[in-house]
Structure 1
């Protein structure tokens, strides 16, 4: 099948963890994927690995860009070119710590988390709106269980902000039959999220908080994203899908 006839997805934070799992799953579903992130070497390695496993040349193309910088978002638009974008998966972000001894430090800490988790999604999505398939485009935002139960300070607030924006965006794009949804993961092992902060006790405590007695893995989250961007989810929009093993119940 020629490249122009493949569906195209853009996945931010696509070099490792959940983003890489999403990219791999979407390639398996027949998408071409642009993986976007700040670390060009990590993206390139992920692209090579996923493409090699797909048996389809150029299935994954890396695009290095800091999505908090409006000028760098143009690199993604340029990589899309004249193609139609079928799905935008906003996975970039994470918990950013820092000193908070002064009001200036508190402001910097909050701005860093809001930029990394909210502004990246806003700028990428806004830049790609003209290219989104009409009808049938999909926008997915990756949130966190922290948005629903707290515990992350500015990270919790930033992820919760995505929920409100998703509702607005779903209303804006609904007449074009473009869906907008949020996937809200719980504890997911095998990612870079915790860095060296995770302890065996912390892992055990998070597993014990689930109803299914295990940690999530990136493929659990990727499966939810694959559903939402697929043909079966055309009547699902403006929703927050918790994928957390029951550690926070739906409401």
Structure 2
């Protein structure tokens, strides 16, 4: 049976790689993004459905959910890094705006989208996978705090959706090359340091993350739920 998969933030980086992985598996994939031209181009290139949607806007999210009668997999990949507030003693209004933006992009997009489609999951085999970050485990400021909150929310979501046969997990990525996350603001020295702190001595790729997401939505992962799975080459280890 063909699965229906929704990937928010699916027009670039990790989200695009995730959408491509499910499309290659024969799923009917829907990707969202905020820029119409980018959504249209991605849909055409990947052979998927494109929907213009700001996942932080409740009305747009409601309209998105109304497109589906049923859903098998939701991947919350929408997110990003809010611009830093300059200065050692930033203006409090600017600081508040930065925190709100990081929480809106990296937590509330997932909360709103998941809430809007939770009744679309039917039968056993559903999966919600959200993209987290190594920043939640170290001094990640407002971005790291938002990703830490994402993991905490996921743990409670898992208990709520388990009776519906839906698993809920977070894939926390380390440094992944080939994305626009740093907006070209990553120096060569900083990049070398990020690679050096891994055990495998290489940057992650979007496919590393996409393959893990794909596995967590597969039959082989039906007893994995409520977890944060770290994919970072050993830069952060758990036990």
State the TM bucket, normalised to the shorter chain.
over 0.9
**2:82 maps to what in 1?**
96
Answer yes or no: is the 8 Å Cα contact 1:37–1:65 preserved in 2. yes
In structure 1, how many angstroms separate the alpha carbons of the residues matched to 2:225 and 2:236? 21
TM-score, normalised by the number of residues in structure 2 = 0.96
| CA offsets 1:44-93 (integer angstroms, 9 cap, x no match) | 11111111xxxxxxxx101111111101112311332x2x1000000100
What is the CA-CA distance between 1:134 and the residue it aligns to?
2.4
1:208 corresponds to which of 196, 201, 210: 196
1:129 corresponds to which of 96, 106, 118: 118
**1:6 maps to what in 2?**
2
Secondary structure, in 3 states, of the residue corresponding to 2:66?
Answer: helix
5 Å matches for 1:103-122? 103-122=92-111
Answer yes or no: is the 8 Å Cα contact 1:63–1:79 preserved in 2. no
1:148 paired with 2:137, answer yes
In structure 1, how many angstroms separate the alpha carbons of the residues matched to 2:108 and 2:57? 9
Answer yes or no: is the 8 Å Cα contact 2:13–2:206 preserved in 1. yes
TM-score, normalised by the number of residues in structure 1 = 0.91
1:35 corresponds to which of 31, 35, 42: 31
In structure 2, how many angstroms separate the alpha carbons of the residues matched to 1:39 and 1:189? 23
| CA offsets 1:170-203 (integer angstroms, 9 cap, x no match) | 0111122210001000000000101120121111
**2:206 maps to what in 1?**
218
Answer yes or no: is the 8 Å Cα contact 2:136–2:145 preserved in 1. yes
**2:156 maps to what in 1?**
168
- C-alpha root-mean-square deviation of aligned residues, in Å? 1.1
Answer yes or no: is the 8 Å Cα contact 2:121–2:164 preserved in 1. no
In structure 1, how many angstroms separate the alpha carbons of the residues matched to 2:56 and 2:116? 12
Q: Which runs of 4+ in 1 moved over 4 A?
A: none
In structure 2, how many angstroms separate the alpha carbons of the residues matched to 1:200 and 1:246? 20
Q: How many residues align?
A: 236
Secondary structure, in 3 states, of the residue corresponding to 2:23?
Answer: helix
* Structure 2: runs of 5 or more not aligned: none
**2:13 maps to what in 1?**
17
- Structure 1 residues 98 and 249, CA gap change in structure 2 (3 angstroms): closer
